[in-house]
Amino acid sequence: MSPDPFIRKHRGAGLPVALFVITVLALVVAAMANIQQGTGEAVSLQIQSQRALFAAESGAQVGVRQVLAGGACGALTSPKVFSATGLAGCRAVISCESISAELNGSSPEEVIFTLTSAGRCGSGLDLAERIVEVKVR
């Protein structure tokens, strides 16, 4: 034992301080891990969303080609299932409506096609869907 009373009063204070520091550091590490996991999930969903947009745009482009070549909505085949590397596992469901109208108030009437393409990629919680609408005449 030390004869100095000041030293005797502060004896053993290091253990509670060390436990407090370890607890705070463990909480910080746990919070950082939670943030990292949320960021990874957000990036994954963003990638799926971009793929779904590309699938919808690709479906709309194929639909425009088919409708203009066939001259009617009946020429459209849907759904489109993609097998290309970037769109593997994605599909586009395309619908078509047509109306006849005089454009700029002049005859003859022209047929205007409205194509709606819904691109879907992923499944479950990782599912993303984007819709593109195109009008052509």
Tens digits of per-residue pLDDT, 116-130? 999 999 888 888 999
Q: How many other CB atoms sit within 10 Å of the CB of residue 64?
A: 19
* Residue 84 three-state SS: coil
Query: What global pTM score does this model have?
Result: 0.68
Tens digits of per-residue pLDDT, 25-83? 888 888 888 787 777 677 888 889 999 999 999 999 999 999 999 888 888 887 889 88
Residue type, 84: A
